[in-house]
Amino acid sequence: MGGSKPGVTDFGYREVPTADKAGLVHAVFESVAPRYDLMNDLMSLGVHRLWKRHFVATSGIRAGDRVLDLAGGTGDVSALLASRLGPTGEVVMTDINPAMLELGRRRMEDRGRVGTIRYALADAEALPFDNAEFDAVTIAFGLRNVTDKRAALREMRRVLKPGGRALILEFSRVGPEPLQRLYDGYSFGVLPLLGRIVAGDADSYQYLAESIRQHPDQQTLAAMMRDAGFTEVGYRNLSAGIVAIHRGRRG
Q: Which helix (H) or strand (E) holds 16?
A: strand 14-17
Burial group, residue 203, by CB count within 10 angstroms (0-12, 13-18, 19+)? middle
Which regions of 18-116 does DSSP assign to beta strands (E)? Answer: 66-70, 90-95
Alpha carbon separation from 70 to 84, 94, 122, 188, 192 (Å, rounded):
17, 5, 8, 27, 26
- Predicted TM-score (pTM) of the model is 0.90
pLDDT in tens, 120-142: 999 999 999 999 999 999 999 99
Cα–Cα distance, 211 to 206 (Å, whole number): 9
The reported pLDDT for the residue numbered 2 is 45
Which pLDDT band, with edges at 50, 70 and 90, does 168 fall under? very high
Taking residue 14's Cβ as centre, other Cβ atoms within 10 Å add up to 13
Domain boundaries, the chain: 8-175+206-250
CATH: 3.30.530.20, 3.40.50.150, 3.40.50.300, 2.40.50.140. Which one for 8-175+206-250?
Answer: 3.40.50.150
Cα–Cα distance, 4 to 6 (Å, whole number): 7
- Mean of per-residue pLDDT scores for the chain: 90
Taking residue 85's Cβ as centre, other Cβ atoms within 10 Å add up to 20
